[in-house]
Amino acid sequence: MKKKSSMWALIAVLAVIGIAVGSRLLVWSGDGHAAIGGPFTLTDHNGRTVTEKSFAGRFMLIYFGYTYCPDVCPTALGVTSVALDGLSPTERAKLVPVFITVDPERDTAAVMKDYVTAFAPDMVGLMGTPEQTNAAKKAFKVYAEKAKGGDGENYTVDHSSILYLMGPDGRFIQHFPHGTNADELLAGLKKHLK
């Protein structure tokens, strides 16, 4: 009996922690929408300056990561690629996949272009100055820090791994946490793209 009550106590504690973390991520604005997203000015992988207004009228599926990421980013973008392939042409035309680098020192336009188009030909890679990158990270409540112990160009970046679905009006709709599989992502996208 003690084991069972201990297990339920542990589950209750984990649930409270999960709610606290989730509510911190999803800070709500006064109008009932999550306060995630907002204005940004970055450069795309073709060298053009873009803002959030450049994507007005289309859904955005946004992921923050970096091209030298050894495993988390390729996994998330691989899942994204498979889910995108499951959309109908009509649904696909409504959505632009966006990859924003958290490593502007190494992720040049050429590196970004090769990287993002390997996952989806129409994926847009965005980069900016450290200040622009930090502003975008802040707007989307993204965590990213250089890991300790790296030197020169041999470093990794610890970062959150979340896909953000933004509406055609630029407002946050839904997030997909790390571990979401392609079927779950596809179902979530289809729900909003109909």
Q: What backbone phi and psi angles, to 5 degrees, belong to 149?
A: 100, -15
Q: Is 175 annotated as a binding residue?
A: no
Q: Is 159 annotated as a binding residue?
A: yes
**CA angle 170-72-148, nearest 5°?**
105
Determine the 3-state secondary structure of 154 from DSSP: strand
Joined tokens for residue 64: 């923050």
Q: Is 45 annotated as a binding residue?
A: no
What one-character-per-residue DSSP string does 95-131 give? Answer: EEEEEEES-TTT--HHHHHHHHHHH-TTPEEEE--HH
The CA distance from 186 to 181, in Å, is 9
Joined tokens for residue 134: 């930090």
The CA distance from 55 to 42, in Å, is 12
Annotated binding-site members for Cu cation: 69, 73, 159
Binding residues: 69, 73, 159
